[in-house]
Amino acid sequence: MHTLKQVSDLMKAFGHPVRLQILYELGRDEACVCHLEAVTGHRQAYISQQLMRLREAGLVVDRRDGLNVFYSLSNTSISDLLHAAETVAGGVNGTALDVAVTLPTGREVGCCCPKCEPETSPYLERENALTGVCR
């Protein structure tokens, strides 16, 4: 009776499309906030809000590196849960593998963090910025 609430609280954290997208992205590699900003197309404060929820649920951990804060999944079993959810969703509505196709599959979007653009300093001009997210 106690753990039912624990599990349901966990599932609630997954029950949001943007949070799901963040978790999928982090399932591929750790990412800074500005990267998630670029990938999801949402404003920074909004992403930070969702990351706060994911942090409170214990699903992500953060690590600061200079100006950037890099987030990653707290546990590899989280990706297993996501995969199981896709299977159920596929079975429920019949579009079995459509989930994996539509979900983010490659890092075609990038930001100006040292991870995405290791050669540029934040204080140099960057005419090759991919998204314009970084200021």
Q: Let me know if 102 is exposed, middle or buried by CB neighbors in 10 A (0-12, 13-18, 19+).
A: exposed
Out of 43, 91, 105, 121, name the contact with a copy of itself by CB under 8 A: 91
Of 26-34, 43-51, 53-61, 115-123, the segment contacting a copy of itself by CB under 8 A is: 53-61
Distances from the Cα of 128 to the Cα of 37, 109, 132, angstroms: 18, 13, 9
Both tokens of 85, joined, read 């959810």
Interaction between residue 135 and DNA (CB under 7 A): yes
Give the residue among 111, 97, 95 at the shortest CA–CA distance from 37.
111
Interaction between residue 32 and DNA (CB under 7 A): yes
Query: Under DSSP, is residue 62 helix (H, G, I), strand (E, B) or coil?
Result: strand
Out of 52, 84, 89, 97, name the contact with DNA by CB under 7 A: 52
* Residue 126 CB, nearest approach to DNA (Å): 9
Interaction between residue 43 and DNA (CB under 7 A): yes
Interaction between residue 123 and DNA (CB under 7 A): yes
Both tokens of 20, joined, read 């799901």
Residue 37 binding partner per list DNA, a copy of itself, none, with a CB distance cut-off of 5 to 8 Å that depends on partner kind: DNA
Distances from the Cα of 79 to the Cα of 23, 29, 85, 86, 102, angstroms: 8, 12, 10, 11, 16
Q: Which residues in this chain contact DNA in the complex, by CB under 7 A?
A: 12, 15-16, 18, 32-34, 37, 42-49, 51-53, 62, 64, 66-69, 112-113, 121-123, 134-135
